[in-house]
Amino acid sequence: MAKYMLLIFGDAVAWEALSEAERAAHDAEHAAFRSAAGPRVVGGEELVSASVGATTLRADADGGLLMTDGPFLETKEGLGGFYLLEAGDLDEVVALARLLPEVRAGHSGVEIRPVIDHG
């Protein structure tokens, strides 16, 4: 078994524009994903949109700490949420990730990243 991070990227404006009914359908698809994945879901959260909630820390030119309002990467599409899964191989993860609504909406996508095992 190995761990995989599913990073859900998308346009926060498009997510916020979902109607109540669309939002409910969206949430139901996530619920279906979680129930299909069962105990393979190790963790997962929806994040406050980067334009509203992100704070970034990095070094400034003098080596001091620079705190900025906003995400590390200023892009139209940002990280909207994540799942941490445990699975046997990539095909198993892809089969589950296909259930996520973000892989079908035009503005979003799901990036699958294997987690390095330092066990």
Partner 1 sequence: MSASVSAVGAAVALAHRREWAQVLATTAQACGDLDLAEECAQEAFAQALVVWPGSGIPDRPGAWLTQVARNRARDELRRRATFRRRLPLLVTSPVADGPEAGLDDDRLRLIFTCCHPALSREAQAALTLRLVCGLSTAEVARAFLVSEPTMAARITRAKKKIATARIPYRAPSPDQLGARVGVVLEVVQLIFTTGHTAPSGSDLVRHDLLDRALDLGRLLHLLMPSDAAVSASLALMLLVSARSAARVSPSGGLVLLSEQDRSRWDAGQIEQGIALLVDSLRRDAPGRYALQAAIAAVHAESPSWSATDWSEIVSLYDLLLAQWPSPVVALNRAVALGMRDGPAAGLAALEPLLGDPSLAIYPYLSAARADFLRQLRQWAAARTAYEEALALTSNDVEREFLLARLASVDRRGR
Contact positions vs partner 1 (CB under 8 A): 2, 88-92, 94, 112, 114, 116-117
* Least Cβ distance, residue 37 to partner 1 (angstroms): 15
Q: Please, which residue, 15 or 33, has the CB nearer to partner 1? A: 33
Q: Please, which residue, 8 or 87, has the CB nearer to partner 1? A: 87
* Least Cβ distance, residue 68 to partner 1 (angstroms): 32
* Least Cβ distance, residue 89 to partner 1 (angstroms): 4
Report the candidate in 73, 77, 68 with the shortest Cα–Cα distance to residue 106. Answer: 77
* Least Cβ distance, residue 34 to partner 1 (angstroms): 20
